[in-house]
Amino acid sequence: MNKKILKGIIYSIFGILIIVVLVLLYLKSKEPTDENKLYQVNFNQTILKWEKYDYALGQKMLVGVEKSLDNGKTFTKVTKEPLAVSFEAQFSFLNENLGFVLATKSLSKTNDYLGFYVTQDGGKTFQNSIINYQNENIEYLNVEMLPYQINAKLKMEASIYLNKNETETLKFVSEDNGLTWNLES
């Protein structure tokens, strides 16, 4: 085969590959991005995700849960009333029904540690989790690890600052699916 013809074939193949790569990059850039998705978890074909709906006063955002039963092709809003949370909020679901929202990392003792929410109905409604902890030497309790399950027990880890150089880790358990939390004995 003539070297000129072979060289022309190679250049043509190379040109076609460049065009294919450019088309693929263009198509990839057109895929929808979900910049409002804060957290997502899959349970078989069911997907639950936390979405930011809007901004709220005081450096907060309004959030809610959306659910897909078709592996993410379509989502429907689940949450009846959006929650106002800080931008540092944390979210989790342990199963399709039980989920948690930590509206802010530091929970104030003067507000009875409000800002830690639980849903037991897949994100439709939320209740304040009650943390039963008394210590007159602290002002804040920091949730370090959102609830998790070990041997069917629901647990959570928090820390307190006793002074500038000393912290203490606390372990809590819940026996009512996250409605109330008591120190682990």
**pLDDT tens digits for range 27-72:** 655 444 578 899 999 998 899 999 999 988 878 999 999 999 998 8
- For the cut 80, the answer to whether the pLDDT of residue 161 exceeds it is yes
- For the cut 60, the answer to whether the pLDDT of residue 160 exceeds it is yes
Where does residue 39 rank: exposed (0-12), middle (13-18), buried (19+ CB within 10 A)? middle
Residues 41-52 as b/e (b if ≥16 CB within 10 A, e otherwise) read beeeebbbbbbb
- 79 contacts 99 by C-beta, under 8 angstroms: no
Query: What percent of the chain is modeled with pLDDT above 70?
Result: 94
State the pLDDT at residue 5.
75
State the pLDDT at residue 30.
47
Decide which of 72 and 122 is more confident. 122
Q: What is the mean pLDDT of the chain?
A: 88
Q: What angle do CA 117, 118, 122 make, to 5 degrees?
A: 130
Of the chain, the end-to-end C-alpha distance in Å amounts to 84
What number of other Cβ atoms are within 10 A of residue 143's Cβ? 25
Determine the Cα–Cα distance for residues 12 and 41; give it in Å rounded to an integer.
46
Band of the pLDDT at 90, cuts 50, 70, 90? very high
> Which positions ≥6 away from 21 have C-beta within 8 Å?
none
Average pLDDT over residues 113-122: 95
Determine the Cα–Cα distance for residues 77 and 65; give it in Å rounded to an integer.
6
State the pLDDT at residue 126.
96
Determine the Cα–Cα distance for residues 184 and 92; give it in Å rounded to an integer.
21
Determine the Cα–Cα distance for residues 50 and 101; give it in Å rounded to an integer.
10
State the pLDDT at residue 1.
63
